Amino acid sequence: MKISRQPTPVTIKIDQKQLENVKCFKYLGSLLTDDGRSTSEIKSRIAMAKAAFSKKKNLFTSKLDLNLRKKLVKCYIWSIALYGAETWTLRAVEQKHLESFEMWCWRRMQKISWTDYVRNEEVLIRVSEQRNILHEIRKWKANWIGHVLHRNCLLKEVMEGKIEGQIEVTRRRGRRHKKMLDDLGDTRGYCHLKEKALDRIKWRNCFGRDCGPVVLTDY
């Protein structure tokens, strides 16, 4: 699979057999696509999580304590939906998909149909929750990226773009593609993020639970 702006196929032969060019494939449980985006992976994860919820619907909608059922949903259902979320690049459309999934969980748990015309704010009050799923992803991503940035490893070099070779870079019209590190919301750039990552206490203070709301931006 070739991830590039140019659609030309790649020719690779092994034992005189040419490898097939594909637009997507699964690697370590995650769906990779040739556009480099996370949209297909997020939709696939949400579908699997909804299927898992439906299998245990009687448990999640039972008369068990509300706090216990919420913990079960976050432990068993969200863990399926957010597998590998640390590496996702979230545009506005993906963030809306995830927030819709979050509300879907609470509505199903409370047996609230879309025909009941109950607003999302009212649903959140009934389950004593706030919109939290994007916060969780941001926190997981900060923990993972912080762990990578204060180590000297291959993954760190990949994130920094330290790859030898020469490529022709052309300027395209429109805004640039959103990058994975953009979700952390530090407008001062990668160098400042790296500097903070070297101080674990400072990093945790910046990207802890109370780090502020996630801003929807589309790129």
Other Cβ atoms closer than 10 A to 108: 18
Token pair listed for 173: 């019209």
For β-strands 17-18 and 30-33, DSSP reports them as unpaired
Token pair listed for 23: 């637009």
Mean pLDDT computed over 90-110: 92
Among 86, 188, 90, 88, smallest CA distance to 147 is for 86
Confidence of residue 190 (pLDDT cuts 50, 70, 90): low
Domain ranges of the chain: 39-130, 138-163+179-207
Per-residue confidence (pLDDT) for residue 195, from 0 to 100? 66
Q: In this structure, what are the phi and psi dihedrals at residue 27, rounded to the nearest 5 degrees?
A: -135, 120
pTM of the model: 0.72
Per-residue confidence (pLDDT) for residue 219, from 0 to 100? 36
Confidence of residue 215 (pLDDT cuts 50, 70, 90): very low
Q: What's the chain look like in SS3?
A: CCCCCCCCCCCCEECCEECCCCCEEEECCEEEECCCCCHHHHHHHHHHHHHHHHHCHHHHCCCCCHHHHHHHHHHHHHHHHCCCHHHCCCCHHHHHHHHHHHHHHHHHHCCCCHHHCCCHHHHHHHCCCCCCHHHHHHHHHHHHHHHHHCCCCHHHHHHHCCCCCCCCCCCCCCCCCCCHHHHHCCCCCHHHHHHHHCCHHHHHHHCCCCCCCCCCCCC
**Which of these ranges, 97-101, 127-131, 184-188, 209-213, has the smallest mean pLDDT?**
209-213
Confidence of residue 67 (pLDDT cuts 50, 70, 90): very high
Q: In this structure, what are the phi and psi dihedrals at residue 145, rounded to the nearest 5 degrees?
A: -65, -40
Token pair listed for 131: 């919109």
- pLDDT of 84 strictly over 80: yes
**Rounded CA gap, 183 and 91, in Å?**
9
Average pLDDT of the chain to the nearest whole number: 78
Task: Summarize pLDDT for 125-142 with one digit per residue, the tens.
Answer: 999 999 989 988 888 887
Dihedral sign (CA 30, 35, 37, 43):
negative
Query: Most distant CA pair in the chain: distance in Å?
Result: 63
